[in-house]
Chains A and B, each alone.
Chain A
């Protein structure tokens, strides 16, 4: 079956009457939690991961990706209004968004943020739609040995990107060890402490809930309000719409930032934060008057918001094609695919390509509806983010417990959540990267099974591995990735010397 027939078949899968309901619900939840500093869409997705098990697979993934989109956009709201980025990806949004607020142009900045996000999302998924099949054909050539190298690349590249190689790899390996707990590929149990409920491994959803959401609450309670009192600018829908229209005055910035976001998003572990930083930097470099950046330049807001949303297209494509999470959010999306009996990566491309296309196609209505929902949200519901933590934290805690119970209904899952919350809190307090641990934990089982398959396939013909072009290329990529920090240091040293 070719591209057009897959797209048509996938389009038919999207023809259900309550599609707008799941998109709107996801966007509202995502925008609300994304706008809360330190909470982000990770919390929203992890809270709804368990309940989403009860929805049909496509509706569940659409709901969760709408939350993802909403949260990436929502992060920019508090960055513009209070210079407090709701998510790390919104850091650059505040550079120019907050000065615009100080100049009384906050509604314009919010409008630009909405339209840039929608354009970035739409553009990146449009490119992904046309390139997904060719990329998928390449991915299908990957065997267990190649997949193992891809997973190793994902684990190591987090450290390379964030310049924290040793702590990242260290906690990543600890995560990987915990990820292998449960039954071995031969059915023998490992590290389950006599608990039959752990035979399938440490439950993913409660572990992620504890590690990412509950541990964050312990940091959040240090302040009486998530957002300080006294910073409550008035909202105006007309001005917001004007800001949306003004966005199209900067087509070059929109196009460049969409492309940058997509490319960075495709790279495992790079994510929306890196995308917005690179895009902001490029926009500033390309500007005739770069000194205006940081003083309320609309292109700064557009570059950052377009790229961080465009990165979602790339990250979701990498996640579906290779099974590699580019960020914690996509790691949670992998978990969502898994609980619905699908394994992102070559298996998804081989067995459920129509489903993958349906997910991509569903992002276009999400981009359109985002404009409407976000405009209403920033105008009317933005004030909810001023709730005191003494109400917000207990509410999120109770939701987290429900989220842990939702999947299997076992009380042991809440204890797993608590243990991972403690671990997550300690990691954050000691400045160890939580992302590295989460990646290792999620990929642990995959490493275990792919290594076993590779051993069984090549134990009597190790030389056969080196006759596979994909293996050689990935091996070279891994070696380069590991050596890159040293190589770039040497390069810079030589350049300085000359």
Chain B
């Protein structure tokens, strides 16, 4: 993807989020509790316009030069980073129900396989060492309560 197209999409997304936040804050009763957000939002909008115009020009130039490739979602899903990100989301969602240590161990194996580990034997021991270190440091020494879930 051309960097200018990515930047344009990014600018649009963060501006829309900021607009939604600004609109919510504009309903606050006192002037002094909405002034920071209002001031910041309007200066931010001005800069987004300036940056956006620059990126639009760069995008047009890229398009003319034939640099802009069409978006390919199949390739995107095959990307290791996307697979790892999805695995991390699943990991986080499962922590409260299954329990931190059980899910963390399984996720450690899953992450490692996504990143190219071929054999179980190469990843089980590092997994036990890492989680053992976390257990000793955080649960035993620092007395931290981590989500237990139905397993551990």
The answer to whether A391 has its CB under 8 Å from any CB of chain B is: yes
- Scan A187-210; emit 1 where CB is below 8 A from any B CB, else 0: 010110000000000000000000
**A170-B51, A177-B18, A186-B32 given; 20 more Cβ-contact pairs under 8 Å:** A51-B144, A173-B40, A180-B36, A222-B80, A224-B116, A391-B126, A394-B112, A397-B111, A398-B130, A398-B134, A402-B134, A405-B146, A409-B147, A411-B95, A418-B89, A418-B92, A430-B3, A430-B7, A430-B10, A456-B32
The interface residues of chain B lying within 8 Å CB-to-CB of A398 are 104, 107-108, 130-131, 134
The interface residues of chain A lying within 8 Å CB-to-CB of B96 are 411
Bound-state Cα–Cα, A170 to B11, Å: 10
Interface of A is mostly: helix
Determine the residue in chain A with the shortest Cβ distance to B50. A166
The answer to whether A350 has its CB under 8 Å from any CB of chain B is: no
- B152 to A: closest C-beta gap in Å: 14
- The answer on a CB contact under 8 Å between B134 and A447 is no
Determine the residue in chain A with the shortest Cβ distance to B91. A401
Residues from 93 to 152 in B contacting A, C-beta threshold 8 Å: 95-96, 100, 104, 107-108, 111-112, 115-117, 123, 126-127, 130-131, 134, 137-138, 142-147
- B33 to A: closest C-beta gap in Å: 4
- Scan A228-262; emit 1 where CB is below 8 A from any B CB, else 0: 00000000000000000000000000000000000
- The answer on a CB contact under 8 Å between A452 and B115 is no
- Scan A166-178; emit 1 where CB is below 8 A from any B CB, else 0: 1101100110110
The interface residues of chain B lying within 8 Å CB-to-CB of A429 are 6
Residues from 362 to 377 in A contacting B, C-beta threshold 8 Å: none
The answer to whether B48 has its CB under 8 Å from any CB of chain A is: yes
The interface residues of chain A lying within 8 Å CB-to-CB of B130 are 394-395, 398-399
Determine the residue in chain B with the shortest Cβ distance to A390. B115
The answer to whether A302 has its CB under 8 Å from any CB of chain B is: no
Bound-state Cα–Cα, A456 to B80, Å: 53
The interface residues of chain B lying within 8 Å CB-to-CB of A425 are 81
Bound-state Cα–Cα, A267 to B146, Å: 40
The answer to whether B21 has its CB under 8 Å from any CB of chain A is: yes
- The answer on a CB contact under 8 Å between A431 and B81 is no
Chain A: how many interface residues by the 8 Å CB criterion?
54
Bound-state Cα–Cα, A422 to B92, Å: 14
The interface residues of chain A lying within 8 Å CB-to-CB of B146 are 402, 405, 409
The answer to whether A184 has its CB under 8 Å from any CB of chain B is: yes
Given contacts A401-B95, A411-B147, contact A455 B131 (CB under 8 A): no
Determine the residue in chain B with the shortest Cβ distance to A427. B10
List 8 A-B pairs, minimum CB-CB distance, nearest first. Answer: A394-B111, A390-B115, A184-B33, A173-B44, A448-B36, A170-B47, A395-B130, A394-B108
Given contacts A391-B126, A447-B36, contact A218 B81 (CB under 8 A): yes
The interface residues of chain B lying within 8 Å CB-to-CB of A181 are 21
Determine the residue in chain A with the shortest Cβ distance to B101. A398
Determine the residue in chain A with the shortest Cβ distance to B41. A177
Interface of B is mostly: helix
Chain B residues engaging chain A, CB cutoff 8 angstroms: 3, 6-7, 10, 14, 18, 21, 24-25, 28-30, 32-37, 40-41, 43-44, 47-48, 50-51, 80-81, 84-85, 88-89, 91-92, 95-96, 100, 104, 107-108, 111-112, 115-117, 123, 126-127, 130-131, 134, 137-138, 142-147
- The answer on a CB contact under 8 Å between B35 and A430 is no
Bound-state Cα–Cα, A394 to B88, Å: 10
The interface residues of chain B lying within 8 Å CB-to-CB of A395 are 108, 126, 130
Residues from 17 to 54 in A contacting B, C-beta threshold 8 Å: 51, 54
The interface residues of chain B lying within 8 Å CB-to-CB of A222 are 80
- The answer on a CB contact under 8 Å between B111 and A54 is no
Bound-state Cα–Cα, A197 to B34, Å: 21
The interface residues of chain B lying within 8 Å CB-to-CB of A448 are 36
Contact of A405 among B18, B40, B81, B100 (CB under 8 A): B100
Bound-state Cα–Cα, A409 to B148, Å: 11
